[in-house]
Structure 1
């Protein structure tokens, strides 16, 4: 029964991180009408309007937050909601998709390192092997099999923005692991989104005018609505629940599903070609995730006795 539950958690994490891949496409649409911080603000404002009633309805005995808890919730809102999304949407507007995908694919590496340092989570050999395979798969996907592209990439100003996004998400995942020891995934997500929305408001007020709102397209609002409901509310809760159950380091491996879904959705929605290197890369990612999460089943009492007698 425990093994079955574990695989359900893995499936849930794969679904959550795959849904994040759609944010690349939705972000490209929304950014045509609004500036980066404004897109992020409307996304999380919509999510907050859904999350708070949902939390109050589902959670009956929410622990009363201490000053330390409020500080941690504020850190979650600052790192994973406000700063990460400002960086992400700036990159959506100014950075090539290949470079953005490469930086985001490095997220699990930093999360595993920070989890080992601050949370004392053990890094297994399978996790390391799986991570290498997954990163190789991601590299195949985002370069369409032309790995030499990485050699021609020089450092640019936008790289600092992308690096900021990676650091912010890693901190969000690790801090979240601490918060999840006391609070459920929906409570943690809701308070983080609440703080993040408040922090994004000043940026949105500065860069947005009534003219921008009047000139915005319906497709931009549909894209923001999709990011609010599916990319944020549903997927964030599932991701945090996964962290709560199996740890930040192991859950982070599933982030590699994001570029796969981004490529597949781009093929289906935008008509971009789905090539053989994409399929090969996806196989590497799936193999890496499988190896990282593989765990031998515990031996039964009878098997242990037989081994001892032998």
Structure 2
């Protein structure tokens, strides 16, 4: 009886995590359109560093109220440094460089390979082997992303150096999920998020001062709605979004959490339609069906439902 109660609690906990992840993916999808607004007013690296630093400060303010702030150990500092370099600095820098030298189609397809790449790295580095149903989920999600990205385009252009930088961006992010998974065993993932954002934001700010001298000059001249967009992106999408996502990595694992990233493609399109007035077609909706199927399978939710159904059937014969 106690085991039954424990299993029900685990299922409920996972379901709550899944719901939170879907909400964060919607937030991150909308954030793509918001960032487009920001970079139309400010140099990309400069405004990114300021946005990430603001997010880091927000995380620490929240955790201070919760009394969750503490100094990290030497080992935890190494995780913060590696995680910040991978998740914040490398991911954002390589992505910015890569997307200036490749097509949106190629970039979208490479980014869509993130969940599968995370699953492979988790299997190698963490020895977490995905099940057959989860592998099917990764493939379905990738197919859905491919379907959406190619919808309305003429096809894939030839590979360029920009494609390599986009791949480095998603590789950095996938490796950061492994680091976060290891670090969260001793360090609260929300606090880890704050440290990584501050560390990475400072590094990006220094790089921005070199790459974009005077990048934030005239920053006060931006209209009020741009600052509202900045606040939404920094506080909601970056600060709270990463706190929730990194906590999910600890709860359900890096590979399972990464499968939800496939939803970003659709939600970013929805955000483009809602905020920028772009059109969503039937092909986008068909791609969404594949992505949702991939999320249900790859996250482990389908296996949980099958397990509970079989367990209920078996109990009836006992």
TM-score by length of 2: 0.87
In structure 2, the residue matched to 1:72 is 79
Distance (whole Å) between structure 2 residues aligned to residue 218 and residue 173 of structure 1? 35
Question: How big is each residue's C-alpha offset from its partner over 1:108-162, in whole Å with a ceiling of 9 and x where there is no partner?
Answer: 111111111111112111111011111111111111166x713xx2111211221
In structure 1, the residue matched to 2:12 is 4
Distance (whole Å) between structure 2 residues aligned to residue 61 and residue 213 of structure 1? 32
Alpha-carbon offset, residue 70 of structure 1: 0.5
Structure 1 window deviating more from structure 2 (276-285 vs 260-269): it is: 260-269
After superposition, where does 1:1-310 map in structure 2 within 5 Å?
1-2=8-9, 3-60=11-68, 62=70, 64-91=71-98, 95-144=102-151, 149-150=155-156, 153-206=157-210, 207-209=212-214, 211-213=217-219, 216-292=222-298, 293=300, 294-295=302-303, 296-298=306-308, 303=314, 306=317
Q: Is the 8 A contact 2:72 2:187 kept in 1?
A: no
Distance (whole Å) between structure 2 residues aligned to residue 286 and residue 193 of structure 1? 30
Matched positions, count:
303
SS of residue matched to 1:13: helix
Compared CA separation, residues 139 and 161, structure 1 to 2 (3 A) = same
Distance (whole Å) between structure 1 residues aligned to residue 224 and residue 160 of structure 2? 34
Alpha-carbon offset, residue 218 of structure 1: 4.4
Distance (whole Å) between structure 1 residues aligned to residue 69 and residue 205 of structure 2? 30
In structure 1, the residue matched to 2:3 is none
Q: Is the 8 A contact 2:110 2:167 kept in 1?
A: yes
Distance (whole Å) between structure 2 residues aligned to residue 91 and residue 225 of structure 1? 26
Q: Is the 8 A contact 1:144 1:278 kept in 2?
A: yes
Question: How big is each residue's C-alpha offset from its partner over 1:39-76, in whole Å with a ceiling of 9 and x where there is no partner?
Answer: 220111111221112122214474x5222210110111
Alpha-carbon offset, residue 220 of structure 1: 4.1
Alpha-carbon offset, residue 215 of structure 1: 5.5
Distance (whole Å) between structure 2 residues aligned to residue 58 and residue 278 of structure 1? 41
Unpaired segments ≥5 residues, structure 1: none
Distance (whole Å) between structure 1 residues aligned to residue 44 and residue 59 of structure 2? 22
Distance (whole Å) between structure 2 residues aligned to residue 216 and residue 157 of structure 1? 34
Q: Is the 8 A contact 1:22 1:261 kept in 2?
A: yes
SS of residue matched to 2:79: helix
Unpaired segments ≥5 residues, structure 2: 1-7
